[in-house]
Amino acid sequence: MTGCVMSFPQDFSEITRRDVPLAAYTWLKVGGPAQYLVEPRSADELVAVVQAAQHAGIQSRLLGGGSNVLVPDTGLSGITLRLTHECFSRVTIEAAIVRAGGGALLSHAMSQSVAAGLAGLENLVGIPGTVGGALHGNAGTRYGEVGQYVRSVTVLNSAGEQCVRTEDELTFGYRTSSINEPVILEVEFELTPDDPDEITRRMRKQWIIKKATQPLSFQSAGCIFKNPRGLSTGALIEQAGLKGTRVGQAEVSDRHANFVVTHEGATATEVRTLIDLIRSKVTEIHGVDLELEIQVW
Ligand SMILES: Cc1cc2nc3c(=O)[nH]c(=O)nc-3n(C[C@H](O)[C@H](O)[C@H](O)COP(=O)(O)OP(=O)(O)OC[C@H]3O[C@@H](n4cnc5c(N)ncnc54)[C@H](O)[C@@H]3O)c2cc1C
């Protein structure tokens, strides 16, 4: 970049679409359109968009695989970025280091690592979405969290400046990370060499358990709420008698009560109303305040 800031949307017409319905890009399959949906074709183009948005005071946000977000029926104003170009989804491996683009599917980074005889990421089997989305919320299972395998992260801040943050500058907690920059461009994982057959065996076992306990064949956004310390939110919701409760076409899963599943014709408003109902019932019955795990936009 030469230091001259380009203008949005005029200078980005080749990568910008207006009023694009977002439901199809989310796992809940609800929600309205993005005012501008922008899919850059290179890191330079991404930097230029972020800088132009900042300069013009236009809000921008990044949509990864859409497996942990609820988009409102009224849609999103400003820019919704997606890192769909292959330059953002490369996975390369050198010794025990796996480098993955922020737009790469987590499952892709995982399968490449397993094939190379590198253990760690198999503990995340069954988590949909991208590497960037996983890092943003420190996605994990009872077997491990993504943050524990991270060596460094390349991010873009809201001024469009690129910087690398190393392991010692990052903190990861239960479904949170200290990475608050708007774009995670690339991640370096440091994994442990192990026998590929052994890793695959572990991964299959974990996948079978996940499939047996979660409604994976339905539209959902995974767990709606975090687990309060030492408690299971699924159990709290179930004990409140809410399994199967519906608001319109949104329903509390009868397989796992911390999942809301959506049926044909559901709206984001129905999902929100159901979330509010679950929260107030659980407070009333158990005296516990549930904290959202999904991002309600
Ligand atoms: C069936 C199902 C099962 C699930 N199981 C689990 C599970 O076992 N454990 C678990 O932790 N989660 C689980 N989830 C939730 C979800 O898959 C994870 O949170 C996932 O990591 C989100 O990634 P994504 O790319 O879909 O992010 P999105 O939903 O697109 O975005 C989530 C957040 O991350 C931000 N983000 C996305 N990409 C980037 C990026 N490149 N740079 C900066 N910010 C970014 C977004 O702005 C947003 O704030 C499940 C979801 C479903 C639907």
9 touches ligand 1 (CB under 6 Å): no
Helices (H), the chain: 43-56, 106-115, 131-136, 196-213, 233-239, 268-286
DSSP assignment of 108-164, as one string? HHHHHHHHTTEESGGGGTT--SBHHHHHHTT-EETTEEGGGGEEEEEEE-TTS-EEE
- Protein residue closest via CA to atom 49 of ligand 1: 295
Strand partners, 105: 130
- Structure confidence at residue 74 (pLDDT): 98
pLDDT of residue 3: 60
Is the distance from the beta carbon of residue 80 to the nearest atom of ligand 1 less than 6 Å? no
Which atom in ligand 1 lies closest to the alpha carbon of residue 83? 41
pTM: 0.96
Task: Output the pLDDT for position 215.
Answer: 86
**Ligand 1 midpoint to CA 24 (Å):** 15
Q: What is the pLDDT of residues 173-195, one digit of tens each?
A: 999 999 999 999 999 999 999 99
Q: Is 40 in the pocket of ligand 1 (CB under 6 A)?
A: no
Distances (CA, A) of 255 to 191, 201, 227, 252, 297: 33, 25, 17, 9, 26
Atom of ligand 1 nearest to the CA of 67: 26
pLDDT, residue 263, reads 96
Our answer on whether the CB atom of 63 is closer than 6 Å to any ligand 1 atom is yes
Ligand 1 site, residue 258, Cβ cutoff 6 A? no
| Ligand 1 midpoint to CA 98 (Å) | 20
Q: Which residues are catalytic?
A: 175
- Point out the residues of the chain with pLDDT beneath 50: 1-2
Distance from the alpha carbon of residue 226 to the mean position of ligand 1, in angstroms: 14
Residue 197 CA to ligand 1 centre (angstroms): 28
Q: What is the pLDDT of residue 2?
A: 47
Judge if the beta carbon of residue 31 lies within 6 A of ligand 1. Answer: no
Q: What is the pLDDT of residues 229-274, one digit of tens each?
A: 999 999 999 999 999 999 999 999 999 999 999 999 999 999 999 9
